[in-house]
Amino acid sequence: MRLTIANRNKHRAMSFAKTLTVQNVRNGLGIIAKRKFAAGATICRIKGEVVTGEAVWSYWDTDSRRGKNCFRYDADHYLDPDGEIGAFANHSCNPNAGIVKTGRRLMLRAIRLIAAGEEITHDYSTLLGADDVWKMKCNCGETACRKLVRNFGKLPASVLRRYRRLGIIPDYIIETGR
Ligand SMILES: C[S@@+](CC[C@H](N)C(=O)[O-])C[C@H]1O[C@@H](n2cnc3c(N)ncnc32)[C@H](O)[C@@H]1O
Ligand SMILES: [Zn+2]
pLDDT tens digits for 23-73?
999 999 999 999 999 999 999 999 999 999 999 999 888 888 888 999 999
pLDDT at position 53, please?
A: 94
Contact status, residue 46 vs residue 71, Cβ threshold 8 Å: yes
Bridge-based pairing of strands 148-149 and 136-137 is antiparallel
Q: Which atom of ligand 1 is nearest to the CA of 140?
A: 19
Q: What is the CATH number of the domain that holds 84?
A: 2.170.270.10
Distance CA 41, CA 43 (A): 6
pLDDT at 97 over 50: yes
> Phi and psi of 53, rounded to 5°?
-60, -35
pLDDT at position 61, please?
A: 82
Protein residue whose Cα sits closest to atom 23 of ligand 1: 27
pLDDT at position 12, please?
A: 53
Q: Measured from the CB, is residue 85 less than 6 Å from ligand 1?
A: no
Its domain, for residue 158, covers: 5-174
* Nearest ligand, measured from the Cα of 139: 1
pLDDT at position 60, please?
A: 81
pLDDT at position 101, please?
A: 97
Residue 86 — very low, low, confident or very high, per pLDDT cuts 50/70/90?
very high
Question: How much of the chain exceeds pLDDT 90, in percent?
Answer: 83
Tens of pLDDT, residues 160-171: 999 999 999 999
Query: What does the mean pLDDT of the chain come to?
Result: 91
* Nearest ligand, measured from the Cα of 93: 2
**Total domains, the chain:** 1
pLDDT at 1 over 60: no
Question: pTM for the full model?
Answer: 0.92
pLDDT at 9 over 60: no
Residue 18 — very low, low, confident or very high, per pLDDT cuts 50/70/90?
confident
Contacts of 26 (CB under 8 A, 6+ apart): 90, 119, 139, 140, 141
